[in-house]
């Protein structure tokens, strides 16, 4: 993790390994998580700000997926994107790599121990069936995060796990608010389609969000693409 350098990935500074005092030293993001600003602070966001957040979130995941040895996050949710005020908007960074694995490690883990370890509301149907986690599973989870941006609601709030599981496995999805721009609505639906092969990859997703901003005439200054390396 200390080798990762990307504007949309939270920086790792060091670790304490003294017995009984284990700790990670990470970059501080003053507003906390995307979950917090949407569901606890109830921060009112313009569509320009929402699309900017979506773009940066997708850019951070795209960086991980495009590394020489691709990394799958495996626990994408609004709690794992940290937010900071920036000039003309917000800075967004991916955090919490506790479940992250390289693609090869994920294949080995799935073969030896196919246990469900993701957070249910953001979990792709193929994972609910105890299938292997792929980059397209991360994309599904991003789709749920984008739905949160569109609705400002907690996904499947107060629903029991069994109800959520049955709903998702049946191919049903959350209702997208009517005021959602049509291009962003289509993007969400592409991300959470039932068949993983029909979902965009992370690079395509970044381009799709850019097109959303062009349609609405929004120009996000000070955003930087993350180059895999």
Catalytic residues: 75
d(CA 229, CA 185): 31
For the CA atoms of 175, 183, 121, 174, what is the dihedral angle to 10 degrees?
Answer: 10
| Contacts with 30 (C-beta within 8 Å, 6 or more apart), sequence order | 84, 85
**What three-state secondary structure class fits 85?**
strand
**Cβ atoms < 10 Å from Cβ of 101:** 18
Secondary structure element (H or E) that encloses residue 72, with its range:
strand 71-72
Q: Are 34 and 23 in contact (CB under 8 A)?
A: no
Segments in the chain forming alpha helices (H): 34-35, 47-65, 103-112, 125-128, 135-151, 161-169, 182-191, 202-216
For residue 163, what are the β-bridge partners?
A: none
**Cβ atoms < 10 Å from Cβ of 217:** 7
d(CA 24, CA 19): 14
């Amino acid at each position: 993790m200390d080798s990762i350098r990307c504007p949309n990935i939270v920086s790792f500074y060091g670790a304490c390994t003294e017995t009984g005092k284990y700790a990670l030293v990470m970059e501080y993001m003053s507003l906390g998580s995307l979950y917090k600003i949407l569901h606890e602070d109830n921060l009112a966001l313009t569509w320009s700000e929402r699309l900017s957040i979506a773009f940066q979130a997708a850019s951070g995941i795209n960086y991980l997926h495009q590394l020489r040895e691709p990394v799958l996050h495996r626990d994408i949710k609004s709690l794992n994107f940290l937010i900071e005020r920036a000039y003309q908007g917000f800075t967004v960074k991916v955090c919490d790599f506790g479940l992250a694995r390289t693609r090869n490690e994920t294949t080995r883990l799935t073969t030896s121990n196919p246990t469900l370890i993701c957070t249910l509301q953001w979990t792709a149907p193929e994972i609910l069936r105890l299938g292997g986690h792929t980059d397209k599973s991360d994309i599904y989870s991003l789709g749920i995060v984008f739905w949160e941006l569109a609705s400002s609601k907690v996904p499947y709030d107060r629903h029991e796990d069994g109800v959520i599981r049955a709903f998702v496995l049946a191919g049903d999805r959350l209702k997208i608010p009517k005021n959602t721009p049509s291009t962003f609505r289509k993007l969400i639906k592409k991300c959470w389609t039932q068949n993983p092969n029909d979902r965009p990859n992370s690079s395509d997703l970044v381009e799709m969000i850019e097109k959303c901003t062009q349609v609405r005439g929004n120009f996000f200054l000070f955003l930087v693409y993350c180059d895999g390396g």
